[in-house]
Amino acid sequence: MLKLNPIQCDKIWGYERWIASTHPDGCQKEFLNAIGKDYPLIVKVIQANETLSVQVHPDDETAKKLEGEGVRGKTECWYVLDAEPDAKLAYGIKGDFSNEQIASSIQQGTFQNELNFISVKKGDFVFIPSGTVHAIGKGIRVLEVQQSSNITYRMYDWGRPRELHVQKSLASLKNNKLLKAGPFPGKFECEYFSLELLEEKSFVPKKLTLLYLLDGQNVELCSSNGTKIQMSQEDIVVVFPDETISISGTSKFMKIC
């Protein structure tokens, strides 16, 4: 069992904390040394004090074509940790537009009219398959689980003078059939990762697992190898396969693997 130290990146819209990563752009060396290889996921906490740019991420095949061999695409998801009243996310596009129409809308500065906005609250869950247009709105804090990739194609930035990646965005775009966003169902699984709420007092993972503390008081984890770790809200630990973990205190964890 290993407690990880976050790496914080300040942004013009707020900040993100890489809380579990071996990616070269934000590598926790203690994590890499402990597992001895690349970890296929990145887990972040994102605090949006202002609305993020409108983005799209490529799938594995498109990432390879656009960025070269050995680069993953990025499918991700968000668990909403907190949200201001009336907070909204951009999630997909309204209607069926051609790439030419989208490019024209971006150039004219009207692309926001094509976006599908959804309201979110604490405890909601949103799945963002690669190829999905999305943006986190102002006043939202999320736990993000994603493939280990740092590719972000910025489609639209609300008039801010930052570089856009329109052609790569359009090459990555898919007409995804989006899952309905709403309260987290307790468990979610896709081909890249799984998330599950853990409220039990003990468990034994069959594979390497991350435990992120959503909420709790006087929380302590005890491992069968004798390790003891005190936990505070938003701390994350790595639990190794077949390691028996006992949990004391009142806690609500997100189990990620």
Residue from 57, 4, 73 nearest 34 by CA? 4
Q: Under DSSP, is residue 72 helix (H, G, I), strand (E, B) or coil?
A: coil
Q: Under DSSP, is residue 97 helix (H, G, I), strand (E, B) or coil?
A: coil
Are 78 and 142 in contact by the 8 Å Cβ rule? The answer is yes
- By annotation, the residues acting in catalysis are 154
Q: Is 234 exposed, middle or buried (0-12, 13-18, 19+ CB in 10 A)?
A: middle
195: CB partners within 8 A, 6+ apart = 77, 79, 145, 184, 187, 188, 189, 254, 255, 256
C-alpha dist (Å) from residue 228 to 1, 32, 144, 198, 223? 9, 21, 26, 19, 6
Q: Under DSSP, is residue 148 helix (H, G, I), strand (E, B) or coil?
A: coil
d(CA 44, CA 52): 15
Are 137 and 60 in contact by the 8 Å Cβ rule? The answer is no
The runs of H, that is alpha helices, within the chain are 29-35, 60-67, 99-108, 166-172
Residue from 56, 43, 45 nearest 15 by CA? 45
